[in-house]
Amino acid sequence: MLQAGIVGLPNVGKSTLFNALTRTRKAEAQNYPFCTIEPNVGVVNVPDERLEPLAKLENSQKIIPAAIEMVDIAGLVAGASKGEGLGNQFLANIREVDAIVQVVRCFEDADVVHNMGEIDPVRDIEVIETELVLADLQSLSSQEVKVQKKARGGDKEAAKQLALIQRLTPHLNEGHAAFTLPLEEGEDEILPRLNLLSAIPVLYACNVSDTDLADPDSLETVQAVRKHAKDRGDAGVCVISAQTESELIDFSPEEAKEYLSELGVSDSGVSGLIQNTYNLLGLASYLTAGPQEVRAWTYRVGMKAPQCAGVIHTDFEKGFIKAEVVSFNDLISAGSIQAARDAGRYRLEGKEYLVEDGDVVHFRFA
Ligand code: GDP
């Protein structure tokens, strides 16, 4: 299962978010028997509004949402790349994740000390990214030595890596993250092999006070983070109130609804954070539906029908014949599989079919 790491400076709300996520949105362990869960790793359900209506339509007994792993990576302070704080351990933990959710503090609270003084989320982002870039520069210089030898020996692959390393080094030296470097043809395959921290896609999560949830864009801090993300290319931004989410844990659904409506919102922003993280990981869901269960299956965007069938079972991929497909929207507007079929919306797709998010699929296999 792909992992997203929650990172941020101390006292920005990481643990509050992690605990809220893993207590309110914890995936049922029985559905994921193969993941070994460490204390700071939680399997979190991906909210999907399509599942309920689909279950109603099919009279399904059970709903199984998609899930991702979230890791709480504590301990970053300025100087981590030089081993300050939990420095090296922290960086090693980040190297394991596929996407980064960087929590930045946009809430004011005189009782909760910010370790850098004033509330300034863009400075916080820069502190963290500087550590990642510094660690990457160290890693690039040792990789360069190795690759140089191979390239001299005529290894073409190594020559390409060397060229990328030599373009990346000045870019990082100017303080830019690796993933902001415009790549030349073929380099998008080489970059992941360099295993750089600042090449991991990032989502900034602005942690605001509950009273700011209804209109977060009136906050200068949130505006500043949005601008920074834009300047930086493709970083995503979402607004959450980790504290609100953690307070919902003990509420019944009705109480939670009432509490949120008093704040002028329908959710704490955390559903959006999970969905955004899922997209950032390059993941999407296709759906299966029947009387027993409705289920969202995770695949990587760009996977074809047989590979997607393989997500359910390797036999489905090996013996793939066809996929019966109807999009969720077409199915719901038709009202039943039969009606979708009559309307010509139910398709038979072959091996080359690129599965789309929200496809309701039934695989035929030998
Ligand atoms: P971490 O060090 O980033 O993991 O931060 P924690 O989650 O431990 O939070 C640090 C402190 O900030 C705790 O006392 C939290 O209760 C508090 N906190 C977290 N989120 C909020 C928030 O949105 N508003 C306020 N006022 N306090 C918060």
Element (H, E) at 71: strand 67-72
Testing ligand 1's pocket by substitution, the residue of 6, 11, 113, 249 carrying the most ligand atoms inside 8 A of its CB is 11
355 is in an annotated binding site: no
Question: Ligand 1, atom 8: nearest CA belongs to which residue?
Answer: 15
Question: Counting atoms of ligand 1 from 1, which one is nearest the CA of 18?
Answer: 7
Q: Which atom of ligand 1 sits closest to the CA of residue 241?
A: 23
CA distances to 70, 106, 211, 289 from 37, rounded to whole Å, are 10, 31, 35, 28
State the closest ligand 1 atom to the C-alpha of 244, by its place in the atom list counted from 1: 23
Distance 240 CA to ligand 1 centre (A): 12
* Ligand 1 pocket check for 15: Cβ under 6 Å: yes
Q: What structural domains does the chain harbor?
A: 3-120+199-280 (3.40.50.300), 129-198 (1.10.150.300), 302-365 (3.10.20.30)
Regarding the beta carbon of 13 and ligand 1, being less than 6 Å apart is answered yes
- Dig out the tokens for 108 from the structure: 């004011």
230 annotated as ligand-binding: no
Q: Print pLDDT tens along the chain (366 aa).
A: 788 999 988 889 998 999 888 877 776 655 655 555 565 888 999 999 999 999 999 999 999 999 999 998 876 666 666 666 555 777 888 888 989 999 999 998 877 777 777 889 999 999 889 989 999 999 999 999 999 999 999 999 999 999 999 999 999 999 999 988 998 888 888 998 999 999 998 999 999 999 999 999 999 999 999 999 988 776 899 999 999 999 998 898 899 999 999 999 988 899 999 999 999 888 999 999 999 999 999 999 999 999 999 999 999 999 999 999 999 999 999 999 899 999 999 999 999 999 999 999 999 998
How many whole angstroms from 109 Cα to the centroid of ligand 1?
A: 9
- With tokens 């997500």, the residue in question is 311
| Closest to 295 (Cα-Cα) out of 365, 363, 364, 366 | 363
Q: What is the pLDDT of residue 281?
A: 86
Q: pTM for the full model?
A: 0.86
Q: Rg (Cα) of the chain, in Å, rounded?
A: 23
| DSSP one-letter string for 5-70 | EEE-STTSSHHHHHHHHHHHSBPPGGG-TTPPPPTTEEEEE---TTHHHHHHHHT-SEEE--EEEE
Q: At what angle do helices 121-152 and 220-231 cross, to 10 degrees?
A: 20
Instruction: Give the pair of three-digit tokens for residue 123.
Output: 């400075």
Query: How far from 330 is each of 66, 326, 340, 348, 358, CA to CA, in Å?
Result: 21, 7, 7, 15, 10
Q: Is 243 in the pocket of ligand 1 (CB under 6 A)?
A: yes
Q: Say what the pLDDT of residue 37 is.
A: 52
> Which ipTM score applies to this complex?
0.95
The predicted structure's pLDDT at residue 323:
97
